[in-house]
Structure 1
Amino acid sequence: MPKAVLWDVGNVVVRWDPKTLYSKIFPEPAARDRFLSHVCTMAWHVNHDLGVTFEANRQPLLERFPEYAEEIRAWETRWWEMFSGTIPETEAAIEALHQAGVPQFGLTNMSHEVFDGIVAMSPAFERLQGFVVSAHEKLIKPDPRIYAIACERFGHAPADILFVDDSAYNIEAAKAFGLKVHHFTDPAALRPALEAHGLL
């Protein structure tokens, strides 16, 4: 049975989707999807998670797509409009685990420039005893080295940790590393999974 829980953040505790913002900027869905698949792509965004600043990361795009200068800058200037609240089932689970005395930690692919603002979105984050943030480590999930950092920093063997993440790639890598895993796809399935692992 695992002894601790390691939480992903985006789309596990808080809902994040660039479409939430860019649907306001591009009323036509096809134009929005074209921008997100050819200009501000997820492959480009990964650099933020690796520690590149918003300002530095957008410069090549501004040079390549000057016609989209305002929309590119919005990735930072309107960043918080990409969020659509917290996930109540996860917040409740974190509180229940805290009450049960289960150690909890965070492991997130995230820019260091927005970390403080994101963890301020929910009091549930105060129940987590520490975080590994990709931008600080210059490593991102699913690189197994970031799982090793989390285990070492938080003082638990891989088999003693249940890792919760919404990405199938991250889950598979964590499982291969030796972590217990729960692929977060349905908030309603979270508490039953925690109960099945003997944590609640």
Structure 2
Amino acid sequence: MSSVDIRHIVFDIGKVLIHYDPQIPYSRIIPDEAERHWFFANVCTHDWNIEQDRGRSWEEAETLLIRDHPEREEQIRAFRRHWHEMVPHAYTETVSLLESLIAEGRDVTMLTNFASDTFREAQKRFPFLTLPRGVTVSGDVGLIKPDVDIYRTHAQTFGLEPAATIFIDDSLANVEGARAAGWHAIHFTDARALSADLVAYGVQPLGDLDASGPTAATRV
């Protein structure tokens, strides 16, 4: 792989740079584990939430669910109200890699499935999200990964050559979507594996993975 000329590095955000877990606030809101499992399987489902990532407003999203589950109104509204609890900290080692790549002069951008408003909130809480050259937010463009069109939109927006681009995502489906768009892609599991994968592509980040370094302050 080292013969590949990688000139563009694209990071996903959730579960790559920042932690995301809806169970955190809901373990308090719905203490009963079986009921909470039912709620996420039947009310605030993944498919419901992904439409906010596609651009649907929270007001519309809440209205649709409350119409069908009026007895769950407060629990439904709690999803947006307590969203900040779902993203409690950054992954300091991955952030360190991101910062090292930028410091080295690499072309780094981000491509994320994220609602528009919660992404802006995340940028305020995690300032390193403003460091890359730019970002494509699914909620802004009305497309979501792994739809190949969002990768093409990102490449066109930022002038990326697909064959010289590598994408990092925790979702295998999103990794395959990037490959379908002609990109190279890495399935993210942890920062150390990512560093090794980047080296295999001829990308050697500066520094080491010392979580006690400056990015440790990104935990909030």
Whether the TM-score (by the shorter chain) exceeds 0.5 is: yes
Pairs within 5 Å for 1:98-117: 98-117=102-121
Alignment correspondent of 2:23: 19
Q: Which amino acid aligns with 1:193?
A: D
Aligned to 2:194: 190
- Matched residue SS, 1:120: helix
Tell me how far 1:183 sits from its aligned partner: 0.5
The alignment status of 1:135 with 2:116, answered yes or no, reads no
Inter-partner Cα distance in structure 1 for 2:89 and 2:62: 26
Q: Is 1:91 aligned with 2:95?
A: yes
Partner of 1:52: 56
Shift of 1:24: 1.5
Distance in 1 (CA, whole Å) between partners of 2:177 and 2:62 is: 30
Letter aligned with residue 78 of structure 1: H
> In structure 2, what is the equivalent of residue 70 of structure 1?
74
Q: 1:144 aligns with which of 114, 126, 148?
A: 148
Aligned counterparts of 1:40 and 1:126: Cα–Cα separation in 2: 30
Matched-pair identity in %: 35
What amino acid sits opposite 2:16 in the alignment?
A: V
Deviations 1:111-137 (A, max 9, x none): 111111112232322321111111111
CA RMSD of aligned residues (A): 1.1
Q: CA deviation at 1:28?
A: 1.8
Shifted more, 46-55 versus 183-192: the winner is 183-192
Q: Describe the superposition over 1:12-68 as per-residue Cα deviations: whole angstroms up to 9, x where unpaired.
A: 111111112211212221111110011000000111011111111111110111111
Structure 2 Cα separation of the partners of residues 6 and 102 of structure 1 = 11
Tell me which protein shows more strand as a share of its residues: 1
1:177 aligns with 2:181: yes
Query: 2:218 — aligned with what?
Result: none
The CA distance in 2 between the partners of 1:103 and 1:126, in whole Å, is: 14
- Residues 1:24 and 1:170: Cα distance change in structure 2 (over 3 Å): same
The number of equivalent residue pairs is 200
Q: Distance in 2 between matches of 1:82 and 1:143?
A: 25
Match 2:9 to one of 5, 20, 25: 5
Q: Structure 1 residues 121, 192: CA separation in 2 closer, same or farther (over 3 Å shift)?
A: farther
Show structure 2 runs of 5+ residues with no match.
205-220
Q: Distance in 2 between matches of 1:70 and 1:62?
A: 9
Instruction: State whether structure 2 residue 161 is matched by structure 1 residue 160.
Output: no
Partner residue, 1:121: 125
Q: How far does the alpha carbon of each residue in 1:78-103 deviate from its partner, in whole angstroms, 9 at most, with x for none?
A: 11111121011110101110121101
- TM (norm. structure 1) is 0.96
1:102–1:199: 8 Å Cα contact kept in structure 2? Answer: no
Counterpart secondary structure, 2:189: coil
- Taking the aligned partners of 2:55 and 2:127, their CA distance within structure 1 comes to 25
> Bigger CA drift: 26-35 or 41-50?
26-35
> Which stretches in structure 1 are left out of the alignment for 5+ residues?
none
Find the aligned partners of 1:195 and 1:88 in 2 and give their Cα distance. 19
Aligned partner of 1:111: which letter? A
